[in-house]
Structures are given as structure tokens and as C-alpha cells.
Amino acid sequence: MSYNMDKNKVIKISKLVFDYVLNMDDKSIDKLLYGQAKLEINEKEKKIKTNEKRIKISSFINMVVELSDKNDVRNLINKEKLTVKELKDIAKALNISLRSKAVKSEIIDKIVEGTAGAKIKMNILKNDNY
């Protein structure tokens, strides 16, 4: 911890804390005063990555829903080299339920079944020739 901070920085930080405390409700202030709560510094997340991630997932979903062959869907997923987190986000966007501890292969299987597999089943139910 550095106590040789620039005077201007100290003033700016004090103003930030003061403004934050002024916007707190009485209950939160009491908790803070009696040691039941604490102020914490959290770094801001970069929103650019989040937007890029959403675009990547959205465009991937658009590609997947166009496919009607299970092998094509599986090959596309493998080609994209998606992480487990990205696969879970894709499954969530497609309303595919997963176990919380599902491994990558299970998630891929569920996505394949939830997209191309569902189309195949619908075609069978409609008595279309598949």
C-alpha cells in the first residue's frame, strides 16, 4: 500500500467514495458503520469482449440452425474449437437444458440433438421423406 500518493489522486478518490456513500440507503450505511458490510473495489469488465462473444455465439447459432444433418452440426462445432463456456452459452441460447457438470462431449451431443436431431424428428412426425 502506497502512502506517497499524489494529492490530486487522493482528492479524486475521496470524491468517488463520498459520492458513492451519498447514494447509499440508510440500512447499507448502518451495516458499513457497524462492520457488517465493507466497500470493495472491482475492476470493470471489458464490454468489447462480451459484445464480440455475443456476435460469435449468435453467428454460430445462425449457422447451426441452418443445418439438418447431425454430422454437419458436429463437424461445425468441432471446427470452431469452442470452449465449454461458449458451448454452454450456445445451449442456453437454444433453450437446451444441460447438467451443471456436463462435459464438453455431452454438451456437443445435446446441441446436435437439440438442433439437427430435432429437425429430423419433426420431419419424421410430419411424414416427410428424410
Residues 77 and 57 in one domain: yes
130 domain residue, yes or no: no
Distance between CA atoms of residues 58 and 104, nearest Å: 19
Residues 34 and 95 in one domain: no
Task: Give the model confidence (pLDDT) of 54-106 as tens digits.
Answer: 777 888 888 888 887 888 888 988 888 888 988 998 888 888 888 888 899 99
Residues 22 and 64 in one domain: no
Residues 95 and 57 in one domain: yes
Residues 6 and 31 in one domain: yes
53 domain residue, yes or no: yes
List CB contacts of 95: < 8 A, sequence separation 6 or more. 114
> Residue 68: which domain range?
47-125
Q: Phi/psi zone of residue 35: left (φ > 0), alpha (ψ -120 to 50 degrees), beta?
A: left
pTM for the complete prediction? 0.53
